[in-house]
A = this chain, B = another copy of it.
Amino acid sequence: MPKPVVPEEKRRRRRPTRSGTVLSEALIVETALRMLREHGSTGLTARRLGLALDADPSTLYRYFRGMDDLTLAIGDALIGQALEGWAPAGEWRRDLREVGLRIHAAYVAHPQAAVLTTSRVTGRANELAADEAVLDILRTAGLPLPDTVRVYHAFIDQTLAFAALDAASLALPSAALRADENQWRSTYAHLPDDRYPRIAEAAPLLAPRMVTSAYPTALDMFLDSVEKQLRADLSSQAP
C-alpha cells in the first residue's frame, strides 16, 4: 500500500510547508482552479501546482491518489459551487430550470476546468447531492418513477453536454490565438464561394451567433416537454 491518502475529515496534524502555508484539500483545489484559469486546461501540472503552493509536488499525493483524483475533486467543486446557496422553491419548473442554468453557468465560468471534468462521473458528495436534488424535484412534482428516470437522464445529459461543448469552445484558443469571434471568422469567411456557397453566404450571420450558447433555448424546449408529460401523467392517474 504505497499511498494511504488520508480523507480530509480525518486529518489531524496540519504541518505547514517549508514556507509556512498550511495545505488542505480545499486550498489545493482552489489553487488548481486558479492555475487552470491562468495557464489553460493543459497548464495544470503537479510541478506547477506544487510551485504555486510552495510545496513539493509529491506532497499532493498525500491528499489525492494522483492527478486524476485531483481532477475529479475539481469537478465536484464546480458542481458544489453551482448549487451553493440554492434551495428548491417548490415549483418544479422554476427549480429545474434554475438547477440546469446554474450547473451550465458554473462550468462555463471555469471553462478550462470544465474541459477536464465534464463527462466525468465523480461519485463525490456534491455530485450526488445534485442528482438527488433533480430526482427529488421531479418526484415531488408528482412524476411517476419510470418517467422521472427518463426525464432525469435527458436533463443531466443535455445539461452536461452543452456545458462541455460551450466550455470547450471558450477554453480552446489557448493563448492569443483566440480573438473569439474573429478566430471563427478567419477560418470560415475566407472560403471560396464557388466551392462553399452556403458557408459563404451564411458566414457573416454565423460569426456572431456561433459564440453564444444554445443551451437556454434547448432547456426551455426540454421543460415544455416535461410539462406535457407531467400533465398527461397526472390526468390519467387521478381523473
Contact = CB atoms under 8 A, between A and B. Distances in A.
B128 A210 contact: no
Of A150, A154, A158, A202, chain B has the most CB atoms within 10 Å of the CB of: A202
A121 interface: yes
Contacts of A120: 172
Contacts of A60: none
Contact of A132 (B118, B153, B199, B210): B199
A153 B206 CA distance: 8
A161 B165 contact: yes
Contacts of A128: 191, 196, 199
Interface in A163-182: 164-165, 168-169, 172
A145 interface: yes
Interface string A211-239: 00010011001000100000000000000
Number of copies of chain A assembled together: 2
Given A146-B205, A161-B164, A153 B199 contact: no
The A interface is mostly helix, strand or loop, or mixed, namely helix
A56 interface: no
A98 interface: no
Contact of A123 (B123, B187, B202): B187
A152 interface: yes
Given A153-B209, A206-B153, A221-B225, A199 B131 contact: yes
Contact of A164 (B136, B165, B221, B225): B165
Report, as a range, how many residues of chain A touch the other chain. Answer: 35 or more
B150 A209 contact: yes
A201 interface: yes
A167 B37 CA distance: 26
A148 interface: yes
B199 A119 contact: no
A190 B130 CA distance: 17
Nearest to A168: B119
Of A123, A153, A154, chain B has the most CB atoms within 10 Å of the CB of: A153
A121 B157 CA distance: 22
B214 A157 contact: yes
